Structure 1
């Protein structure tokens, strides 16, 4: 390995969305820094399999309502 080309590898704290915390080693930040996760395996639908409905009105319906008059000519 070439000297002085690799980033420093140190211990940081990880805080999950539910508040649980653990330590891991990373190149991020400095020794002892904290990384707060917005999305993690306990909350993301890709891992949990539970889908939340984000859009109750429907994006297509909102689009059609907003731009309904565009393209129609009145003489």
Structure 2
């Protein structure tokens, strides 16, 4: 592998799926202004996700569409006239 191309600032970060509330702790270099208290009592940076493997239909096996931004309603309104 090439030297000096990988980031050095990996740290523990909490990723939270906003559609179902599941959260997981992982190492990442992503920046965040928010923090959350984790199960171990420590505070970690928080990254909010719209969808993750715990809510995505491919991983869950359920054909449920998660609409977090109102895209379905917008589509229905747009094509309801036709």
Identify which of 22, 25, 35 aligns with 2:24.
22
Larger Rg: 1
Computed over aligned residues only, the root mean square deviation of the Cα atoms, in angstroms, reads 3.2
1:47 has 2:49 as partner: no
Question: d(CA) in 1 for partners of 2:60 and 2:13?
Answer: 26
Determine helix, strand or coil for the equivalent of 2:25. Answer: strand
| Structure 2: gaps (5+ residues) | 33-43
When normalised by structure 1's length, the TM-score is 0.51
Going by fraction, where is strand more abundant, 1 or 2? 2
Question: d(CA) in 1 for partners of 2:64 and 2:23?
Answer: 25
| Deviation beyond 3 Å, 4+ runs, structure 1 | 52-55
| Structure 1: gaps (5+ residues) | 66-75
Post-superposition CA distance 1:20-59 (Å, at most 9, x none): 32321012116x321112111221111122224786xxx8
